[in-house]
Amino acid sequence: MMSAKVFLLTLALSFLSVGTASADFYSFTDENGVVHVTNVPTSRNYRWMMSEKGSFKRSLRTYSRKGFEEMIEAAAQRHGVDPSLAKAVVKAESDYNADAVSVDGAKGLMQLMPETARSAGVRDIHDPVENVEGGMRHLSRLIKMFAADVRLAVAAYNAGEKAVLKYAGIPPYAETREYVRRVMHYQKLYKAQAARRG
User: How far is Cα 48 from Cα 177, in angstroms, rounded to an integer?
Assistant: 37
Q: Does position 38 have pLDDT exceeding 90, yes or no?
A: no
Give the C-alpha distances (Å, rounded to integers) separating 66 from 27, 96, 164.
Answer: 10, 10, 33
135 three-state secondary structure = helix
Give the catalytic positions in this structure.
Answer: 93
Question: Domain holding 158: CATH number?
Answer: 1.10.530.10
Considering the domain boundaries, does residue 178 fall inside one?
yes
User: How confident is residue 18, by pLDDT bands cut at 50, 70 and 90?
Assistant: very low
Considering the domain boundaries, does residue 7 fall inside one?
no
More confident position, 121 or 37? 121
Residue 25 backbone phi and psi in degrees, to 5: -115, 145
Considering the domain boundaries, does residue 25 fall inside one?
no
141 three-state secondary structure = helix
pLDDT at 24: 55
- Side chain identity, residue 136: M
How far, in whole angstroms, is CA 134 from its chain's centroid?
A: 8
For the full predicted model, state whether its pTM sits above 0.75: no
User: How far is Cα 96 from Cα 30, in angstroms, rounded to an integer?
Assistant: 23
CB 94 within 8 A of CB 110: yes
Q: Does position 78 have pLDDT exceeding 50, yes or no?
A: yes
> What's the mean pLDDT in 11-15?
37
Q: How many structural domains is the chain composed of? A: 1
Structural domain that includes position 190: 65-197
